[in-house]
Amino acid sequence: MAARVAAAAAIVLASSFIIRRQLNRKTKSSKNLSKTYNGSPRLPRTVLPRRYNIELTPDLDARAFQGKQAITLDIVEPTANIILNAADLTIKKDTVWLRGKDSRQILWPVSQELYEEEELVILKFDQPLPIGEAILGMEFNGTLNDQMKGFYRSSYEAGGERRNMAVTQFEPADARRCFPCWDEPNFKAVFKLTVHVHVDRVVLSNMPIVDEQAIGKIKTIHFEDSPLMSTYLVALVVGEFDYIEGITKEGNKVRVYTAHGKTEQGRFALEVATRVLPFYAEYFGTTYPLPKLDMVAVPDFAAGAMENYGLVTYRDTQLLFDEKNSAAANKQRVAIVVAHELAHQWFGNLVTMEWWTHLWLNEGFATWVCSSESFQKYFIKQVSYLAVEHHFPEWKIWTQFSDLTVDAFRLDGLVQSHPIEVEVGHVREVDEIFDAISYEKGATIIRMLQNYLGPQKFQKGLVSYIKRYAYKNATTEDLWNVLSEESGEPVRELMNSWTKQKGYPVVFVKAKGDVLELEQTQYLTSGLPGPGEWVIPLTLCRTTYTRITSALMRAKSHQVMKPGLDKLFEVESGETGGHAINALKAEDISQEHRNDWLKLNVGQTGFYRVQYDEELAASLRSAILAGALEATDRLGVLDDTYALCKACKQPFAILLSLMEVYRCETDYTVLTNLIGVAYGVFQAIADARPDAAKDAKRFIASLLQHPAKRLGWDVVAGESHLDSMLRGELLTGLVDFNDEETIMEAKRRFDIFLKDRSTSVLPPDTRKAAFKAAMLDANGSDKSSYQALLKIYRETDLSHEKVRILVSLAASTDPNLVREALDFSLSSEVRSHDAVYVLNGISREGREAAWIWLKENWNKIWNIWSKGFLITRFVTSVALKFSSDEKADEINEFFTSNGNPAIERTVSQTVEHVRLNSQLVRYIREEEGLQEFLKQLATK
């Protein structure tokens, strides 16, 4: 279609009266921008695109492309300028033209001004353009870049040679690197793509192919018109693929495209997709709106996946699953990522945020959805997790959902956090808010809202919202309005306090007779008071889950009447005020009170922490020992206590004493949270009191030994998915905490694996533990284990195996070998999106060497990764391992001199984290009796 439009334009040029002037192509400084344009980071709405006819010719060998387009416009206000986005493109001289839809008169701009910094092109005409419909045409050239954004190249092996493919990644604002456009989410339009490629290449886009013609070695492919959609959802992939295909029960065709010979690795993702598409259609009350859905594995991909309308692109580790060599955790990850991206087809694609300030509407909701008819649970569920729970109930995915809340809590406890609705000026700021606030906190407050409204009212509201704003843009307020209309509840009052201010509350609970006295304050990891105040939907249960009390806390303080609460406080509390080594022990609690407990924030459905008075905390501890609390609440008690200790609000020994209660824990999510807490505990103790580090490791290892021995090293026929995942987590934890028996067995199995890669003694779930154990003895004089891992890395073509190896390479205690591993991460043997995995595995002994390496290689790292969000991972993965104010100063000074506004938020958060680590170290040093108590626990 684009070719035909261009041809028609040429005919018009030859036969019509032409107003033409010499085109002045200029590159201007943004300081002059306000003379022509109001300086807003957002485009003016005087001209609105309605339809793009785009013709692209990618040259994979030359790593470049040519393009031409004709854009149908509505000129809605008098203007002599057309302002649109373009970046890294060359608009060909004298190819830009404009004509009315029904006019033969061609208008040529008198100048074309390019503002590189603002990524804008301003086309100036010598007179105001007539209001009405018009067509804007132009031709342009671009480069298939290697930055994994815009229209870029990825590479793969085929027939023993390296070949290129072309891939698009346009979110948040990189369609402008492929074609000039109005590259903002609220400029929705129809897109018609035509592509010229070599005849042996597969070409995929959002829509099905409507026509294909070949002349010699080149074929021309015309795609169907897209529905109205935003530029960031346009997609194109050109490469060599095989595919497998399935059909949903509603008749939608679904395909998974993979590299040649890997289609079977896409079968699990295909199964998930064909099952969850109908589920979402039913839940949202709207059928899947496109005629097909393609999912493609891309070798080089910065994010996990991208929800392009009808053509979802994935990093291969997030789409492919190999039954023999992928771990159970990989399988679960594929299911969740596929479900997340397909949820976007409704929440994000069909209904799109109005501006990036409302990014959480896309990501929070794509992480969440529920249907009480499908799940008879008292707490809410979230979209991708819900779909996985629906089809894989044995995974207990809703218990695991609590881990998302934990991730959001950790970031949102910083002064340098940000609101869910963060003000976004320039789109360059958007990359930094694809974080735990937009995703995990967004999903959790939706969970909290649905729990408050009830699942039926909430779902009814969502169905109305989708229908009202289908093919349109919406804001957070639009959603609250619809939910308020459908439920009759004060949704805006409740939710504005959670979306428009950063942070979250901690609720202190104190019992006085029949009254629970509650007081909220903002939780900050610094321990300092914060100004925040929230409308909190409270939930509470006592001694049983059969009755749950709800209340809306609208002020700083609140009271809940509960007859019979006095029975909770008959237990002698002892002297628990000074140090936790005097904390109440389980044996001090009489049996009659072991089932007498009270839990606030039932099921961890609310985004707040709870601090209990001493008696209530003791009763919860006894309830955990008695097995009375459900897994989500056991996790909540542990994580809240850890957070309060990190904020220096409770003695650290209270946390250690509580951790001991989980010695016989069996739940996957609770144990993985315990391991996560243990890593933080060990780092703080080792930095505060190095002579206590060995006891800390012995104590932590003792907590993991019982569940690890229950599972053993070998796969058991018929074992659960969660046990398969847990085995690897426990064994890796025991290796990290120097459990000698585990390390010896890991090395024995690793040696067998080196001789026979198909051996059953080292299944995928346990390989990471064995790889890390092997690296413990690796050093400059004996690199055999390091070299053995590199050999496996070079010989395997399985991405999951490569990632396991990369995470293990820097686990050596030899700083020089850590540095060698980091150098390897920058080599051509490691795909650029995988380099950060090496940083994730840096040993404690290698952290200083890693920091020096980062500083020395910063310019190289910046040149490769600065255009995307992966650059922030280099900062956090290295710097967050430190615990001193001096190092915080050093980090701040380095990035002040060598940073960039694009990572300013990340640097500020990192420096704050390091200062908080330092504060905790000082706090632990001042705690009397802690070291002796730790020694008792280690030798118990």
Query: CA-to-CA distance for 83 and 559, rounded, in angstroms?
Result: 57
3 state SS of 887: helix
Query: CA-to-CA distance for 840 and 845, rounded, in angstroms?
Result: 14
Q: Give me the catalytic one of 55, 113, 184, 341.
A: 341
Helices (H), 689-783: 693-711, 721-736, 740-755, 764-775
**What is the DSSP annotation of 796-834?**
---HHHHHHHHHHHT--S-HHHHHHHHHHHTSTTS-GGG
Q: Phi/psi of residue 229, each to 5°?
A: -160, 165
* 201 token code pair: 């290449």
**What is the DSSP annotation of 393-451?**
GGG-HHHHTHHHHHHHHHHHTSTT---SS----SGGGGGGGSSTIIIIIHHHHHHHHHH
Query: CA-to-CA distance for 803 and 789, rounded, in angstroms?
Result: 11
* 909 token code pair: 């958060």
Task: Please indicate whether residue 341 is annotated as part of the active site.
Answer: yes
Asked whether 756 and 791 are in contact (CB, 8 A), the reply is no
Residue in the block written with tokens 């209904």: 351
Closest among 560, 585, 559 to 574, alpha carbons compared:
585
Asked whether 152 and 144 are in contact (CB, 8 A), the reply is yes
Query: CA-to-CA distance for 449 and 458, rounded, in angstroms?
Result: 8
Query: CA-to-CA distance for 51 and 57, rounded, in angstroms?
Result: 20
The set of residues, in sequence order, having a beta carbon less than 8 Å from that of 744 and lying 6+ positions away, is none
Segment holding 718, helix H or strand E: none
Task: Name 65's bridge partners.
Answer: 58, 142
> In a 10 Å sphere around its CB, with 0-12 CB exposed, 13-18 middle and 19+ buried, how is residue 264 labelled?
middle
563-567, Cβ contacts within 8 angstroms, sequence gap of 24 or more:
563/514, 564/514, 565/511, 565/513, 565/514, 565/515, 565/516, 565/598, 566/513, 566/514, 567/593, 567/596
Query: CA-to-CA distance for 911 and 680, rounded, in angstroms?
Result: 17
Helices (H), 238-394: 267-284, 328-343, 359-366, 383-391
Task: Name 162's bridge partners.
Answer: 157
Asked whether 635 and 601 are in contact (CB, 8 A), the reply is no
Query: CA-to-CA distance for 280 and 287, rounded, in angstroms?
Result: 8
User: Beta strands of 144-235 (E only): which ranges?
Assistant: 150-158, 161-169, 190-198, 202-205, 209-215, 218-223
Task: Name 139's bridge partners.
Answer: 68
Closest among 556, 562, 488 to 521, alpha carbons compared:
556
Give me the sign of the Cα torsion angle 332, 335, 337, 343: negative
**What is the DSSP annotation of 606-633?**
SS-EEEE-HHHHHHHHHHHHTT-S-HHH
Asked whether 205 and 312 are in contact (CB, 8 A), the reply is no
Q: Phi/psi of residue 332, each to 5°?
A: -65, -40
Segment holding 474, helix H or strand E: strand 472-474
3 state SS of 89: strand
* 335 token code pair: 């299911």
- Residues forming the active site: 341
